[in-house]
Structure 1
Amino acid sequence: MNNNTINIRAIQHYMYCPRRFALLEVNDDWAENSFVVKANIQHQHVHDGSHSYSDSRKIVRSNIVVYNDEPVYDIFGITDCIEFIRSSEGVELSDQDGRFQVHIIEYKPKAPKEHGFNETDAIQVFAQKVCADSIWNCDSEAYIYYSDIRKRVKLPFDTEYDKYDLMLKNLLSEMRKVLEEKRIPSRKKGQKCSGCSMSDVCFPKEKKYCVRDIVMSQKGADIL
């Protein structure tokens, strides 16, 4: 990896708010709230090894590092879960007998109310697919498992590959521009910040202007 290599998890930060992305990646700022902690706990459970097993039908592995070092992508990340399903129409794996279809499973805590999946979640998983397809020379299927509804949703990469591929490439180009310029973008118009763990870091609260405090400080007095 080089200085331009992007961690897949950073893509969602950028899509949610470029300013948040820059604070994390350029300034190395970080803050947590209840939403972040809940998501971290879920992913710790997914990555603890208990989701890894094998049977006669499939091999399931969690916490797999994937990457794609083609210059147009140059990304890496850690998958929640990959299922290798035995199939005569699948691909060969270097350390296994037989052929397998590759399924990527991403775990998310809460499903959207109005759509089958969040677009920000989908592009994250598409980036994982780009990596998996490169590593195993396959055309992997991708799913999001939403814990609150206990449902697995298939992502439409088989019919909308070009759409997501263009979206990913554009996002990566924009992100690299921010990183190269080392700048913190302004907040987007209409950006919702109430649920963001970085809101206090992004816009620290300033003490209100007070003439009394200024006068007293000039006199060298303690301000109570």
Structure 2
Amino acid sequence: MDASEISSQSGEQCPQLSTTIASPVMDGAIPALSEPRVEATPQPPSSIQKRKRDESLDSEDDLAELFEPDPQPVWSVEMLCGLRMRLKRRRVSTVRPEHHKVFTKLLEDPVVKKFLTWDKMLRVSDKYLLSMVIAYFSRAGLFSWQYRPIHFFLALYLANDMEEDNQAPKQDIFYFLYGKSYAQRPMFHKLRFQFIRSMGWKIWVSREECEEIQAYNPDLWVWARDRTNLT
């Protein structure tokens, strides 16, 4: 049996693999990923072990974003009196740099930019409500490239639903997106429910976390949208 026959037999025993992941909010799917077929050639044990180590490192890099462990709690000394010490548990933010990056990218979308310009009185898009959008992005469990402008409006609507006593202004989001038509609103609420479920129903965001999010990139222009500065 020559090398070509061995290669063909090994190819029949190792079919190609593909993986498809569906977004909890989007209908699209990640394109299938397939591994190239490699001919079986004899290699020394040292090279086989090296190749296994390289493949292991590659797979760890690809899945780092998906399987990154939860942050460990951090403790700081709040008070020290003699031999007695009181510890305070500090909150560890789960917002990662890619969540800030995707939010900044969505701010350049024409529809989002037009909406922020349209809401000049900051009725539904002041700096704290916008920082909650980033917090929701970090909890939704989507890959950074899956976020679309619709996710921005879903998160902003949810932020207004949680924080604002006056619920009338959030209807401005519907008016801006769909005008006076009510046909698309049921689909919007369906996507909103799916978005909340993808966050594990964790929709409360503290003021401290909002300020931490703003402090990550304090020069971002949307953080100047402060209602206290309006005349």
TM-score between both structures, scaled by the size of structure 1: 0.27
Which is higher, the Rg of structure 1 or of structure 2? Answer: 2
Does 1 or 2 have the higher relative contact order (CA < 8 Å, sep 6+)? 1
Higher relative strand content: 1
Higher relative helix content: 2
